[in-house]
Structure 1
Amino acid sequence: MKPLGWFGIARLGLVQFAIGAVVMLASSLLNRLMVVEYALPAAVPAGLVAWHYAVQLSRPVWGHGSDKGHRRTPWIIGGMAMLAGGAMLAVASLGELGRGSVLGFAMAILAFSIIGAGVGAAGTSLLALLATRTAPERRAAAAAITWIMMIVGIVITASIAGRLIDPFTPQRLALVAGGVVGGAFLVSLIGIWGIEGTPTAVVQPADALPAQSFGEAVREMLAEPEARHFTGFVFLAMLAYSMQDLILEPFAGLVFGMTPGQSTQLSGTQHSGVLLGMILVGIGGSAFGGGTPRVLRRWIVGGCLGSALALAGLGLAARAGAGWPLAANIWALGFANGVFAVAAIGAMMSLAGAAGPQREGVRMGVWGAAQAIAFGLGGLTGAVGVDLARAVMKADGPAFTLVFAVEGGLFLAAAWLAVGVGRGAIARQRRALA
Structure 2
Amino acid sequence: MASTAISHEQRGFGWFAIIRIGAVQASIGAIVMLTTSLLNRVMVVEYGLAAAIPAGLVAWHYAVQLSRPLWGHGSDQGRARTPWVIGGISTLVLGALMAVNATVMMDAFPIGARVLAIVAFTLIGLGVGAGGTTVLALLASGVRKERRAAAAATTWIMMVAGIVVSAGITSQVLDPFSEQRLALVASGVAGCAFLVAILAMWGLEKQSLPVGFERESGPPPDFRAALKEIWHEKAARRFTAFIFVSMLAYSMQDLILEPFAGLVFAMTPGESTGLAGIQHGGVLLGMIVTGIGGSAFGGRLPSELRYWIVAGCLGSGLALVGLVIAARTGPGWPLEANVFALGFCNGAFAVAAIGAMMGLAGSGKRTREGVRMGVWGAAQAIAFGLGGLLGALGVDLARTAQGQDADAFQIIFALEAAAFVVAAILAVRATARIPAQSSNEPDQVPPAREVAEA
**TM-score of the alignment, normalized to the shorter chain, above 0.5:** yes
- Structure 1 pair 259/361, CA: closer, same or farther in 2 (3 Å)? same
**Gaps (5+ residues) in structure 1?**
none
Of 61, 77, 80, the residue aligned with 2:89 is 80
Say which SS state the counterpart of residue 69 (structure 2) adopts: helix
**Contact persistence 2:261–2:267 (CA under 8 A):** no
**Contact persistence 2:161–2:281 (CA under 8 A):** no
1:7-46 correspondence runs (5 A): 7-31=16-40, 43-46=52-55
1:349 maps onto 2:351 in alignment: no
- Structure 1 pair 130/161, CA: closer, same or farther in 2 (3 Å)? same
Of 364, 377, 392, the residue aligned with 1:383 is 392
Q: Over residues 239-273 of structure 1, what are the superposed CA-to-partner deviations in whole Å (9 max), with x where a residue is unaligned?
A: 1111122344555677xx63315766654443332
- Structure 1 pair 174/383, CA: closer, same or farther in 2 (3 Å)? closer
**Contact persistence 2:37–2:273 (CA under 8 A):** no
Of 83, 108, 118, the residue aligned with 1:109 is 118
Q: Once structures 1 and 2 are overlaid, which stretch shifts more, 230-239 or 64-73?
A: 64-73
**TM-score, normalised to structure 1's length?**
0.84
Give the aligned residue type for 2:265. M
- Structure 1 pair 275/231, CA: closer, same or farther in 2 (3 Å)? same
Match of 2:232 in 1: 223
- Structure 1 pair 95/196, CA: closer, same or farther in 2 (3 Å)? same
Q: Once structures 1 and 2 are overlaid, which stretch shifts more, 6-15 or 300-309?
A: 300-309
**Contact persistence 1:128–1:349 (CA under 8 A):** no
Q: Over residues 191-214 of structure 1, what are the superposed CA-to-partner deviations in whole Å (9 max), with x where a residue is unaligned?
A: 222222178998964534542221
**TM-score, normalised to structure 2's length?**
0.80
- Structure 1 pair 172/76, CA: closer, same or farther in 2 (3 Å)? same
Aligned-pair Cα RMSD in Å:
3.6
- Structure 1 pair 70/240, CA: closer, same or farther in 2 (3 Å)? same
Q: Once structures 1 and 2 are overlaid, which stretch shifts more, 38-47 or 144-153?
A: 38-47
Say which SS state the counterpart of residue 244 (structure 1) adopts: coil
Shift of 1:72: 2.1
- Structure 1 pair 204/344, CA: closer, same or farther in 2 (3 Å)? closer
1:292-311 correspondence runs (5 A): 292=301, 294-311=303-320
1:214 maps onto 2:236 in alignment: no
Match of 2:435 in 1: 425
1:130 maps onto 2:139 in alignment: yes
**Gaps (5+ residues) in structure 2?**
1-7, 437-443, 449-454
Q: C-alpha distance in 2, partners of 1:83/1:120?
A: 9
Q: C-alpha distance in 2, partners of 1:319/1:170?
A: 33
Of 266, 272, 275, the residue aligned with 1:259 is 266
Q: Over residues 104-159 of structure 1, what are the superposed CA-to-partner deviations in whole Å (9 max), with x where a residue is unaligned?
A: 44433222211110101111111112222344554444333323322332333344
Q: C-alpha distance in 1, partners of 2:127/2:236?
A: 25
Match of 1:71 in 2: 80
- Structure 1 pair 284/134, CA: closer, same or farther in 2 (3 Å)? farther
Match of 1:371 in 2: 380
Give the aligned residue type for 1:409. A
Shift of 1:44: 4.0
Give the aligned residue type for 1:187. V
Q: How many residues align?
A: 429
Match of 1:61 in 2: 70
**Contact persistence 2:313–2:345 (CA under 8 A):** yes
**Contact persistence 1:76–1:121 (CA under 8 A):** yes
Q: Once structures 1 and 2 are overlaid, which stretch shifts more, 308-317 or 49-58?
A: 308-317
- Structure 1 pair 225/30, CA: closer, same or farther in 2 (3 Å)? same
Q: Over residues 200-236 of structure 1, what are the superposed CA-to-partner deviations in whole Å (9 max), with x where a residue is unaligned?
A: 9989645345422212211221122221111111010
Say which SS state the counterpart of residue 354 (structure 1) adopts: coil
1:286-365 correspondence runs (5 A): 289=298, 291-292=300-301, 294-315=303-324, 326-356=335-365, 359-365=368-374
Match of 1:189 in 2: 198
Q: C-alpha distance in 1, partners of 2:13/2:172?
A: 37
Q: Once structures 1 and 2 are overlaid, which stretch shifts more, 362-371 or 397-406?
A: 397-406
1:415 maps onto 2:435 in alignment: no
Of 85, 92, 100, the residue aligned with 2:109 is 100
Q: C-alpha distance in 2, partners of 1:167/1:231?
A: 44
Q: Over residues 293-318 of structure 1, what are the superposed CA-to-partner deviations in whole Å (9 max), with x where a residue is unaligned?
A: 53432321221122223334444555
- Structure 1 pair 387/222, CA: closer, same or farther in 2 (3 Å)? same
- Structure 1 pair 325/188, CA: closer, same or farther in 2 (3 Å)? closer
Shift of 1:61: 0.7
